[in-house]
């Protein structure tokens, strides 16, 4: 790939160079192809190809991060060791931040086209 781009770049004149005719990359017929080629070269020059080719790591879930940090499963009951389900999140200053019934209500409103109004708590 690099030798090909090098060969193509040899035909590009210096900046502000006056050309008499439009041949090769500067002909009207191949102008868009030349623009694409130069854009690709500029992209490759600024970005490392290795970054594009390596696989992106999946983001870890809250549960995975907690197990990795504290070696404790946050969704496991400390008494009976059964998996817990999230029913709600309550904050002393703000009241209910999340409640599972709110999700059910949102889905019902979305399905039937009813505007959803959050209930005020506090």
Asked if residue 115 lies in contact with residue 108, where contact means CB atoms within 8 angstroms, the answer is no
pLDDT at residue 121 above 60? no
CA distances from 120 to 45, 83, 99, 102 (A): 54, 30, 13, 12
Q: Sign of the C-alpha dihedral, residues 14, 19, 25, 28?
A: positive
Six-digit token string for 70: 């504290």
- Is pLDDT larger for residue 61 or for residue 47? 61
DSSP assignment of 20-45 equals SS--GGGSSTTHHHHHHHHHHHHHHH
Reported as a single tens digit per residue, the pLDDT across 85-109 is: 877 778 888 887 777 777 777 777 7
Give me the numbers of helices (H) and strands (E) for the chain, helices first please: 5, 2
């Amino acid at each position: 790939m690099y030798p090909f781009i090098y060969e193509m770049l040899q035909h590009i004149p210096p900046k502000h160079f006056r050309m008499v005719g439009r041949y090769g990359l500067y002909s009207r017929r191949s102008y868009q192809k030349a623009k694409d080629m130069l854009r690709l070269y500029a992209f490759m020059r600024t970005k490392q190809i290795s970054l594009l080719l390596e696989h992106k790591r999946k983001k870890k879930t809250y549960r995975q991060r907690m197990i990795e940090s504290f070696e404790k499963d946050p969704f496991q009951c400390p008494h009976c060791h059964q998996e817990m389900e999230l029913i709600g999140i309550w904050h002393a200053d703000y009241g209910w931040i999340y409640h599972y019934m709110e999700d059910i209500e949102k889905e019902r409103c979305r399905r039937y086209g009813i505007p959803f109004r959050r209930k005020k708590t506090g």
